[in-house]
Structure 1
Amino acid sequence: MRVISGKQKGTSLKSVPGHSTRPTTDKVKEAIFNMVGPYFNGGMMLDLYAGSGAMGIEALSRGMSKAVFVDRDRKAIETIYSNLKTVRCLEEAEVFKNEAKRALNAIKKKERQFDLIFLDPPYAKQTLADELAFIDTHNILLQGGYIVAEHSSKVLLDNHYKTFTQTKEERYGDTSVTIFKSVASEESI
């Protein structure tokens, strides 16, 4: 596993030991960033099921100013810190050991918003519908922002929400990547 592009291009990253995570392949990672970037001029990114932190690190390498990493697994948190040290991005990162729902509640209470949100829950615990509804209800995605949901191809997601709508879905074997983009508010029209 490595950083594909940007200022940290080619840097090797560690995977989380064991079988508790399913790393995003380089091919899928490149496709995702081509759909939502491929590069950024600052911004905040949330990696809700961070695993090794590879997606957030890729976003930082491609120009995001800050990334928030959340995972409930201690080994994942240790791996994220190790990878952030490798790419020298500790100052641009916040890392939290927490359950996704508790993390989203904390984000809501702090009224934080993000330009890019990456959701890749374990396939056995796909709760994307609940998380997408929560993000929508509490306006966690900034105007012009994207949500990337990586999920089992068997999982069907709603196309439209109040604050964002599905713009693309691609299948890669048993994995699907669904992209949502914020919709213009009536105030900005």
Structure 2
Amino acid sequence: MRVISGDYGGRKLKSAPGENTRPTSDKVKESIFNIIGPYFDGGRCLDLFAGSGGLSIEAISRGMDHAVLVDKDTTAIKIIKENIEMTKEMTKFDVYRSDANRAIEMLATKNSPFDLLFIDPPYFEQEIVKQLEKILSLNLLADKAVIVCEVGRKIDLPDKISGAKQFRSTVYGASKIVLYEVFSEGAF
């Protein structure tokens, strides 16, 4: 596993051992960023089930200003912090050890909206629709924010969730990547 492109391109990333995390492969990661925009001109991202932190580190490498990474697993948090140290830009990252649902509530009280959301829960713990509805109701995402969901290949997510509309769904092996864009009220 490595950073594909940008400021940290080519640098290796560690992944947490065991079955608690399922890192997004380099091939899938590259495909995601080719779709959502290879490079960014600033912005903030939230990685709700961060695992190794690879998606957020890639987003910062490609031009996002700041990333918030959340994971409830202690080993994952340790790996995330080690991977962030590799960037030598630790101030661009905030890391929280928390359950996703508690993190959503906590972030609603202290952050400006995010421009990019990664939501890749363990396949057996998925509450994506409920969590996205909560995130959108708390205005945690900016207008035109992109949501990247990674689910099992047989999981079907709705075309619309509150103020977000699906614009792409692609299967990669056992995984499916589903992309949404947030629209202001009445836009669709």
Structure-2-length-normalised TM-score:
0.95
SS at match of 1:12: coil
Whichever residue aligns with residue 77 of structure 2, its letter is: I
Provide the C-alpha distance between the structure 2 equivalents of 1:111 and 1:80, rounded to a whole number of angstroms: 21
Provide the C-alpha distance between the structure 2 equivalents of 1:139 and 1:91, rounded to a whole number of angstroms: 24
Q: Residue 40 of structure 1 aligns with which residue?
A: 40
1:25 matched to 2:25: yes
5 Å-filtered alignment, 1:3-14, equals 3-14=3-14
8 A Cα contact 1:139 1:163, kept in partner: no
Q: Residue 70 of structure 2 aligns with which residue?
A: 70
Structure 1: which 4+ aligned runs deviate by more than 4 Å? none
SS at match of 1:28: helix
Whichever residue aligns with residue 38 of structure 1, its letter is: P
Q: Residue 134 of structure 1 aligns with which residue?
A: 134
Q: Residue 150 of structure 1 aligns with which residue?
A: 150
Provide the C-alpha distance between the structure 2 equivalents of 1:72 and 1:111, rounded to a whole number of angstroms: 20
What's the CA shift for 1:74?
0.6
Q: Percent identity?
A: 42
What's the CA shift for 1:140?
1.5
1:98 matched to 2:98: yes
8 A Cα contact 2:45 2:114, kept in partner: yes
Q: Residue 172 of structure 2 aligns with which residue?
A: 172
What's the CA shift for 1:136?
2.0
The answer to which of 148-157 and 48-57 deviates more is 148-157
Whichever residue aligns with residue 9 of structure 1, its letter is: G
Q: Residue 53 of structure 1 aligns with which residue?
A: 53
Question: Over aligned residue pairs, what C-alpha RMSD do you find?
Answer: 1.3
Whichever residue aligns with residue 176 of structure 2, its letter is: S
Provide the C-alpha distance between the structure 2 equivalents of 1:119 and 1:27, rounded to a whole number of angstroms: 18
Any stretches of 5+ residues in structure 1 without a counterpart?
none
What's the CA shift for 1:108?
1.6
8 A Cα contact 2:133 2:162, kept in partner: no
Provide the C-alpha distance between the structure 1 equivalents of 2:43 and 2:111, rounded to a whole number of angstroms: 16
1:59-81 C-alpha deviation (Å, 9 max, x unpaired)? 00000000000000111111011
Structure-1-length-normalised TM-score:
0.95
Q: Residue 122 of structure 1 aligns with which residue?
A: 122
Provide the C-alpha distance between the structure 2 equivalents of 1:106 and 1:112, rounded to a whole number of angstroms: 12
Any stretches of 5+ residues in structure 2 without a counterpart?
none
Provide the C-alpha distance between the structure 2 equivalents of 1:55 and 1:5, rounded to a whole number of angstroms: 12
8 A Cα contact 1:120 1:151, kept in partner: yes
The number of aligned residues is 187
Q: Residue 80 of structure 1 aligns with which residue?
A: 80
8 A Cα contact 2:48 2:69, kept in partner: yes
Whichever residue aligns with residue 51 of structure 2, its letter is: G
What's the CA shift for 1:144?
1.7
SS at match of 2:161: coil
